[in-house]
């Protein structure tokens, strides 16, 4: 068979069902081989969209999502979504074409060194120069992409190699996906620290969701009555309705929930990732006793030096800790923190002001979506409101990019989400800045008949940067822009769209849109002045003991 046929067979052997990408001259053989396979090729409208789709597919399934591009500009367009997968810890394999081998060592059309370009944004990458090594490379790419911490890998396939003949056969990466059981002595050491603590707190990160350890986390917190703070990407690791859930942290060093972390003498960091929220923000004096629980070792950081480090399967560690730790009641002292954010939602439940307050929109989103439905947030000021105030019931029901934190994430992410969970309702929330970065993928969604709702927060500004500028300089610059008519824009794709003219219209319009069998768009005018009060609303809460 041709090497391109072998590549497709190797991918099928790994269980690949979808490949997202754009065809190109240097991958003609690969695309032709895909046409004869059982793998579905999803042509996108931009390679960045393809990479984000593969990213979210990997995040939701735990299996590497695959994206495909040609050389040169096709490969460079992939990089943002690939880098996002690396820092958001989503397993992904990027496959790029390349000019023939005889052109690699001289100047030629569209050729750049893609291998070197992808090295900083992947865990591993390689070029296929010999046909028979392809099965090993594909198996290696899948194994490394899935290993903790998961992330992106990359294979480059020159066009002449793709057309060569080979007698090699596919391999399959051999991994159980399980990690070692915790050392009993480490469990006992961690239990001793917790039992001695006056105000312990659990900081739950993305690793809890990746390792499917939410049940064990909840049981540990429940038994020991220790409150749980989640990072943005850890949202849903404990049900927000549980009184021990303090929702999320990650805004800034004076975050409102920081008064909970400030008073904690022991922080039990479970699946915590510093790319989301730097340890310096919550351990500036370096005085907290830290217990690190994860499937991978901690990074060396002067503000994060665990006293006990348990590198093992997270769920097993939490089970062992729950069995070993002695219950010490009466330490739940952070209830006012929880009541503050839930009170904000309640306060704005019937708010009639226009443009709409962010809290009102977040509250209506929660009302319209069921427990298993999924909200996807793009990056911008709206991300902070959603991350801090959208009450998540279950893991992976609110998806936020907070490692690489790239704008343009939401619409492609919604496409991948509907592919993985066609039976669930999905809403993608974007600002008017981030939406236009990948809005062309609405055509992809329509072509695939994937029904989800895109909610565009319209305030004619890069609101998050405006807020940061005001906090730092007391003035703003370069953050304002104009917009198209978003309703007409969506209608140009042949999609239903709605403009909100009063605060009471949003919830019924959203419910109506969620029942449609096509992608749809809702344009929501947002009171940008509320963003200027983010610090006041989310940063200044007095916690008494």
The reported pLDDT for the residue numbered 542 is 44
Domain limits for position 9: 3-162
Contact 27, 159 (CB under 8 A): yes
In whole angstroms, give the CA distance from residue 238 to residue 395: 8
Judge if 305 and 389 occupy the same domain.
no
Most distant CA pair in the chain: distance in Å? 72
Domain with 411 in it: what CATH number? 3.40.50.970
Other Cβ atoms within 10 Å of 491 Cβ, number? 13
Q: Which helix (H) or strand (E) covers residue 498, if one does?
A: strand 497-499
Other Cβ atoms within 10 Å of 292 Cβ, number? 23
In a domain, 31, yes or no: yes
Helix (H, G, I), strand (E, B) or coil at 131: helix
In a domain, 173, yes or no: no
Contact 284, 261 (CB under 8 A): no
Contact 135, 167 (CB under 8 A): no
Contact 186, 180 (CB under 8 A): no
Contact 271, 208 (CB under 8 A): yes
The reported pLDDT for the residue numbered 176 is 65
Domain with 264 in it: what CATH number? 3.40.50.1220
In a domain, 171, yes or no: no
In whole angstroms, give the CA distance from residue 337 to residue 347: 15
Alpha-helix residue ranges (DSSP H) falling in 168-225: 184-196, 206-210, 214-224
Judge if 26 and 152 occupy the same domain.
yes
Judge if 366 and 488 occupy the same domain.
yes
Helix (H, G, I), strand (E, B) or coil at 54: helix
Q: How far is CA 466 from CA 263, 459, 530, in A?
A: 31, 11, 12
Contact 513, 496 (CB under 8 A): yes
The reported pLDDT for the residue numbered 171 is 92
Contact 538, 388 (CB under 8 A): yes
Order of strands, edge to edge, in the sheet holding 520-525? 398-400, 374-377, 426-431, 453-458, 520-525, 497-499
Q: Tell me the whole-structure pTM to 2 decimals.
A: 0.95
Backbone angles phi, psi at 93, to 5 degrees: -120, 120
Output b/e per residue, 531-541; b: 16+ Cβ within 10 A. bbebbebbbeb
Please return the burial class of 478, using the count of CB atoms within 10 Å of its CB with bins 0-12, 13-18 and 19+.
Answer: exposed
Judge if 304 and 363 occupy the same domain.
no
- In sequence order, what are the beta bridge partners of 230? 204, 248
In whole angstroms, give the CA distance from residue 470 to residue 340: 24
Judge if 109 and 195 occupy the same domain.
no
Helix (H, G, I), strand (E, B) or coil at 28: helix
In a domain, 254, yes or no: yes
In whole angstroms, give the CA distance from residue 182 to residue 316: 7
Judge if 489 and 371 occupy the same domain.
yes
> How many structural domains does the chain have?
3
Judge if 384 and 509 occupy the same domain.
yes
Q: Counting every residue, how long is the chain?
A: 545
Judge if 384 and 525 occupy the same domain.
yes
In a domain, 544, yes or no: no
Other Cβ atoms within 10 Å of 147 Cβ, number? 18
The reported pLDDT for the residue numbered 255 is 55
Domain's final residue, options 333, 365, 388: 333
Identify the CA nearest to 94 among candidates 60, 62, 117, 112: 117
In whole angstroms, give the CA distance from residue 261 to residue 150: 28
Q: Give, for all 545 residues of the chain, the pLDDT tens digit.
A: 999 999 999 999 999 999 999 999 999 999 999 999 999 999 999 999 999 999 999 999 999 999 999 999 999 999 999 999 999 999 999 999 999 998 888 788 878 899 999 999 999 999 999 999 999 999 999 999 999 999 999 999 999 999 999 999 999 887 767 788 999 999 999 999 999 998 899 999 999 999 999 999 999 999 999 999 999 999 999 999 999 998 888 765 455 455 567 788 999 999 999 999 999 989 999 999 999 999 999 999 999 999 999 999 999 999 999 999 987 654 555 677 777 777 877 888 888 999 999 999 999 999 999 999 999 999 999 999 999 889 999 999 999 999 999 999 999 999 999 999 999 999 999 999 999 999 999 999 999 999 999 999 999 999 889 988 988 899 999 999 999 999 999 999 999 999 999 999 999 999 999 999 999 999 999 998 887 666 555 544 444 43
In whole angstroms, give the CA distance from residue 396 to residue 237: 8
In whole angstroms, give the CA distance from residue 194 to residue 267: 9
In a domain, 142, yes or no: yes
In whole angstroms, give the CA distance from residue 36 to residue 20: 16
Alpha-helix residue ranges (DSSP H) falling in 197-257: 206-210, 214-224
Contact 76, 136 (CB under 8 A): no
In a domain, 387, yes or no: yes
Identify the CA nearest to 5 among candidates 159, 162, 171: 162
Domain's final residue, options 162, 193, 211: 162
Judge if 145 and 190 occupy the same domain.
no
Domain's final residue, options 162, 195, 216: 162
The reported pLDDT for the residue numbered 529 is 85
Structure tokens at 44: 């996108």
The reported pLDDT for the residue numbered 333 is 56
In a domain, 35, yes or no: yes
Judge if 16 and 153 occupy the same domain.
yes
In whole angstroms, give the CA distance from residue 304 to residue 290: 7
């Amino acid at each position: 068979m041709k090497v391109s046929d072998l590549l497709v067979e190797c991918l099928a052997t790994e269980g690949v069902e979808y490949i997202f990408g754009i065809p190109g001259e240097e991958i003609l053989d690969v695309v032709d081989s895909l046409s004869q396979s059982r793998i579905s090729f999803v042509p996108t409208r931009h390679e960045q969209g393809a990479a984000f789709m593969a990213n979210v597919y990997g995040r939701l399934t735990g299996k590497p999502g695959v994206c495909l591009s040609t050389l040169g500009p096709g490969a460079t367009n992939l990089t943002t979504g690939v880098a996002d997968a690396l820092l958001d810890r989503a397993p992904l394999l990027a496959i790029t074409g390349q000019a023939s081998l005889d052109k690699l060592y001289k100047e030629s059309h569209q050729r750049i060194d893609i291998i070197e370009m992808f090295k900083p944004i992947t865990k591993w990458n390689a070029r296929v120069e010999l046909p028979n090594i392809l099965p090993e490379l594909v198996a290696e790419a899948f194994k490394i992409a899935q290993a903790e911490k998961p992330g992106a890998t990359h294979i480059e396939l020159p066009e002449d190699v793709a057309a060569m003949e080979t007698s090699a056969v596919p391999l399959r990466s051999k991994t159980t996906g399980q990690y070692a059981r915790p050392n009993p002595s480490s469990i006992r050491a961690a239990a001793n620290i917790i039992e001695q603590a006056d105000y312990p707190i659990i900081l739950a990160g993305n690793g809890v969701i990746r390792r499917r350890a939410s049940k064990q986390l909840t049981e540990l917190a429940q038994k020991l009555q220790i409150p749980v703070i989640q990072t943005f990407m850890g949202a849903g690791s404990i049900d927000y309705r549980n009184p021990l859930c303090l929702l999320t942290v990650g805004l800034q060093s004076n975050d409102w929930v920081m008064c909970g972390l400030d008073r904690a003498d022991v922080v039990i960091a479970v699946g915590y990732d510093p790319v989301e929220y730097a340890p310096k923000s919550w351990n500036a004096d370096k005085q907290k006793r830290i217990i690190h629980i994860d499937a991978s070792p901690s990074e060396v950081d002067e503000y994060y030096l665990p006293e006990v480090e348990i590198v093992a399967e997270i769920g097993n560690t939490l089970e062992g800790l729950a069995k070993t730790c002695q219950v010490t009641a009466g330490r739940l002292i952070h209830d006012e923190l929880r009541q503050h954010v839930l009170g904000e939602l309640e306060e704005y439940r019937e708010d009639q002001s226009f443009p709409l307050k962010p809290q009102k929109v977040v509250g209506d989103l929660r009302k319209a979506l069921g427990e298993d439905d999924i909200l996807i947030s793009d990056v911008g000021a709206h991300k902070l409101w959603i991350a801090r105030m959208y009450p998540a019931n279950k893991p992976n029901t609110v998806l936020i990019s907070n490692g690489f934190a790239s704008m343009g994430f939401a619409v492609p992410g919604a496409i991948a989400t509907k592919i993985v969970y066609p039976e669930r309702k999905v809403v993608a929330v974007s600002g008017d800045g981030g939406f236009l970065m990948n809005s062309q993928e609405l055509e992809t969604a329509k072509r695939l008949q994937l029904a989800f709702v895109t909610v565009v927060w319209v305030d004619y500004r890069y609101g998050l940067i405006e807020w940061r500028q005001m906090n730092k300089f007391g003035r703003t610059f370069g953050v304002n822009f104009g917009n198209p008519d978003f309703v007409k824009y969506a209608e140009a794709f042949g999609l239903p769209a709605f403009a909100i003219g009063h605060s009471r219209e949003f919830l019924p319009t959203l419910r109506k849109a969620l029942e449609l069998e096509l992608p749809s768009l809702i344009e929501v005018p947002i009171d940008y002045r509320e963003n200027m009060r983010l610090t006041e609303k989310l940063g200044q809460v007095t916690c008494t003991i």
